[in-house]
Amino acid sequence: MEQKLFKKLQQITKKRKRPVEEIHRSFDVVEHVLQEANDLGVAAEVVTHALKYMKENPYVDISDAIIAGYDECLK
């Protein structure tokens, strides 16, 4: 389920053209945050909140959405 949600996040971010380096940095942040979320057992919830955040803010970067989702889960 987590992989399916992650792929959905990738599809959403493909709508914008960005330099490859920026995309790599963004995915590094996503990987780090999801690893921490996984260690806490809340990875699926983080991705779910990130998807909701991106739906409300369609031009936000995927790393910002994941961070917002992580923050939401830690409240």
Look at residue 27 and tell me if it is in a domain: yes
Domain that holds residue 61: 20-74
Asked if residue 15 belongs to a domain, the reply is no
The DSSP result for 1-66, as a single string, is -HHHHHHHHHHHHTTS---HHHHHHHHHHHHHHHHHHHHHT-HHHHHHHHHHHHHHSTTS-HHHHH
Domain count, the chain: 1
* Residue 17 clears pLDDT 70, i.e. is over it: no
Q: Give tens-digit pLDDT for 25-73.
A: 888 899 999 999 999 999 999 999 999 999 999 888 899 999 999 999 9
Output 11 or 70, whichever has higher pLDDT.
70
Per-residue pLDDT, 64 = 93
Residue 48 domain flag: yes
8 within a domain of the structure (yes/no): no
